[in-house]
Structure 1
Amino acid sequence: MTDDAPELRASDADRERVAEVLRDALAEGRLDMSEFEERLDATYSARTYGELAPITRDLPAGTADAAPRVSMTKEPERGGGWAGRITGGEGSSSWAVAVMSGFQRKGRWTVPRRFNSFAFWGGGEIDLREANFADGEVVINCVAVMGGMNVIVPPGVEVVVRGLGIMGGFDHREEGVPGDPGAPRVVVTGFAFWGGVGVERKLTRAERQRQKEERRQEKLERKAAMRELHSDFREDVEGAHRRMLDGHRDMLREHRDERREQRELRREERDRRRRDDD
């Protein structure tokens, strides 16, 4: 690891990459269980790169499958669409274990071609909503013994479930939904004994916020349209009312003029009769 910008905040994916290095070191005997647990606790409590860097400083870079390293600079966002999320290469995390505990894989991480997970009296969450994919088809292998796991996929991803359950089961509700063109295919397989593996489709928080903002904007536009409609209606009603009053005043004026003419005619008739009498 470099020591560039140690004050930068670490992400969940950064912590998971360091945790993967520690797991490989434990499997190779470079760390005993107490050291592994101590460093793992420090990893998940670390908030910055400066706190993460010392945790694996004495471990070689070439553990297992060329252990991932924490990047001190954030890479630019990939282009939109699924093509930018199928990256090739290796995954940033290839396995997870929960024994009377739990694990999470979420945020920005790269799903390998095959991800293996195991839960015994514990649980795990494998969230693929913001993940990249090492291949167009990835396999999530889940083994749950008296435990449970949940696989979360984003909309547009095709899901195939092939797991076996004994006094347990795999969730098949998301099967049969066609994927978007170019989207990856996620195969959920494994074994569940007195346990379960759930599969659900969810939007990311950013997408939910975007949809919420769109609905709010549509609501504001509908309100503005209704206000304009009401204003036009009110103007039409007021115009009709004014025209009705004007017509009524004209009718009254005509009626007064007509009565005046009749009075004048009657007066002229009386004057003519008097002259005739005289």
Structure 2
Amino acid sequence: MTDDLPEMRASDAERERIAEVLRDALAEGRLGLEEFQERLDSAYAARTRGELVPLVRDLPQHPSGDSAVSGFEGGGSEPAPSTGRRRRWTERIGGAATSRWGVGVMGGFGRKGQWTVPRVFTALGIMGGGEIDLRDARFEDREVVIRCFALMGGMSVTVPPGLGVEVRGIGVMGGFDASGSVAGDPDAPRVVITGFTVMGGVGVVKKLPREEKKQLRDERRAQRELERRGEEESGERVRRPEIDKPHGAAGGWGHGGSGAHGSHGGTHGGDEGKSL
């Protein structure tokens, strides 16, 4: 690792590669779900390579701590993220929009699950807000615009890792979460979040899709089950000689009992001799 690595700006591909390492660690049971989510958020918020290194330093497949990012040094094109869980974005582009508006007046609205985002979606919140979840959504076109207008309210846009996001709204006594902007995967849709807020705000949250999170949880549960069975089998091998030892002792007592029985027979035979 070079001395200038901590100050070198991190690229989107490097952030995604770190994210893939963290997902694999979660699937193997090396990270808890809460710690994984914290590290994942830190990975996507990192501005330099030096901020990425500590996120994987304690993982056994990366003993040096910087191998996940050091591979990008020396020029050349950056390698693509691992394809183990790579999303098929092309399958999620196209189709008729299912909703074009979201309104929350002194209340809230939600758009989540499997819905199709239109080319332009308009969200309005007055003393209220809304939740726009894009993790399982389809997209009418490769680039869509989400316009958020909020007065004394707020909105949350949840995006999956790899999705391209650009935040460029204006806030008065409030604001838009510009840290949510990310280039995303080369074949991923691009979402532009814009609009205007007064005494309100629009936040961008990165989370794994529910199905992917469930898959990781199931893999982790299966890994734990394998480890538990391995521990039980190892314990059985250790305990088996201990079980055999009392059985051998019992056999010794039985043999001794036979000896006593033989002595008893000999005594009985002596009595019979006297009787004669």
**TM-score (ref. length: structure 1):** 0.51
Deviation of 1:90 after TM superposition, in Å, equals 4.0
Match of 1:83 among 90, 97, 101: 90
* 2:225 paired with 1:216: no
Q: Please state if 1:145 is matched with 2:141.
A: no
Match of 2:184 in 1: 179
SS at match of 1:221: helix
State the alpha-carbon separation in 1 of the partners of residues 125 and 180 from structure 2: 22
Paired letter, 2:91? G
What residue in structure 2 maps to residue 31 of structure 1?
none
* Partner of residue 122, structure 1: 128
Displacement after TM superposition at 1:167 (Å): 0.4
Q: Show CA shifts across 1:99-148 (max 9, x none).
A: 22221112221101111111111111111122110111111110111111
Task: Summarize the Cα distance change of 1:221–1:145 in structure 2 as closer, same or farther, 3 Å threshold.
Answer: same
Offset, 1:160:
1.3
Gaps of 5+ in 1: 1-79, 243-278
1:233: Cα distance to partner? 5.9
Instruction: Confirm or deny that 1:135 pairs with 2:141.
Output: yes
> Residue 121 of structure 2 aligns to a residue in which SS?
strand
Does structure 1 residue 96 correspond to structure 2 residue 99?
Answer: no
Q: Secondary structure at the match of 1:207?
A: helix
What displacement does 1:225 show?
2.7
Q: TM-score, normalised by structure 2?
A: 0.52
Aligned length: 160
Q: Does 2:205 correspond to 1:196?
A: no
**Which residue of the partner structure matches residue 47 of structure 1?**
none
Q: Distance in 1 between matches of 2:214 and 2:111?
A: 22
CA distance in 1, matches of 2:185, 2:236: 45
Partner Cα distance (2:145, 2:138) in 1: 14
Deviations along 1:5-53, one digit per CA (max 9) or x if unpaired, are: xxxxxxxxxxxxxxxxxxxxxxxxxxxxxxxxxxxxxxxxxxxxxxxxx
